Amino acid sequence: MKAIIIFRNIKIYKLSFLLCLFFTSCSSINLVEQYTNPVIQNTNIRKVLVIGMTPNNDIRRIFEKKVANELSKQNLIAVKSFDFFEKSFTEIQKSEEQLNQIQAQLIEANFDAILLAKVTGQEEKIALTQSYNDILRDFDSFKDDYYSNQGIYASQESESYVLYHTETSLYCLCPAAQRQILYKASIDIVDTKPIEKNINDYIKVLFKNLKDNKIFSR
């Protein structure tokens, strides 16, 4: 009887482990790392410029609008770069001197910070397309286990997907001597369709982390 109880506990543990693995590895959005500058404790942010760096203007518009809406829920004044800058702003690369002028322009317009999001890299991944129902099955005998999984010896179907590495940073528009990064988060995104779902999931992860670190609740 004791042996049966131990065996059942092992089965339950195995199932719990696989469920944990399933929900962790299948998440399309993952927070990889983040940094919060302690100086933010003494920083009062009221007005933020949102910049999404992407060559796709449609995605940029959607992203900036959604982020600005979330910031507005934090009782902040959020302005999209699409609305603040001219349409030709991204067409020509800016020199350091021009960027200094832009920062001065933002400070004059009473901005306290810039939230800048960008894709820093991407890589193609390959995943085996096994049914999770089969993975989570438990087998009582060698015969059942081997019989159900002998297809492993044959060619397995696989699918490729793109993993994007992104970085979101919050920069302070303080006096020049104190102008520095306040917050940074690295988030990995598995490319899915439609793109708007990616953006929604990304924003959920980002703003949960911002909330956990009390970035705007001062």
- In tens, the pLDDT along 156-180 reads 556 677 788 899 999 998 776 567 8
Per residue in 181-217, pLDDT (tens digit) is 999 999 998 877 778 888 999 999 999 999 999 898 7
Instruction: Please count the helices (runs of H) and the strands (runs of E) in the chain.
Output: 7, 6
pTM for this model (two decimals): 0.72
Q: How confident is the model at residue 128 (pLDDT cuts 50, 70, 90)?
A: low
Higher-pLDDT residue of 125 and 69 is 69
Q: Domains in the chain, start-ordered, CATH in brackets?
A: 28-212 (3.30.160)
Q: What is the mean pLDDT of residues 126-155?
A: 58
* Residue 102 confidence (pLDDT) above 80: yes
11's CB contacts (< 8 A; 6+ apart) are 138
Q: How many alpha carbons lie under 13 Å from residue 211 in its C-beta half-sphere?
A: 10
174's CB contacts (< 8 A; 6+ apart) are 43, 180
Q: What is the mean pLDDT of residues 114-126?
A: 83
CA distance 151 to 143: 14
Instruction: Report the phi/psi class of residue 10: left, alpha or beta, with left for phi > 0 and alpha for psi in -120 to 50.
Output: alpha
Per residue in 61-97, pLDDT (tens digit) is 999 999 999 999 999 999 999 999 877 777 788 888 8
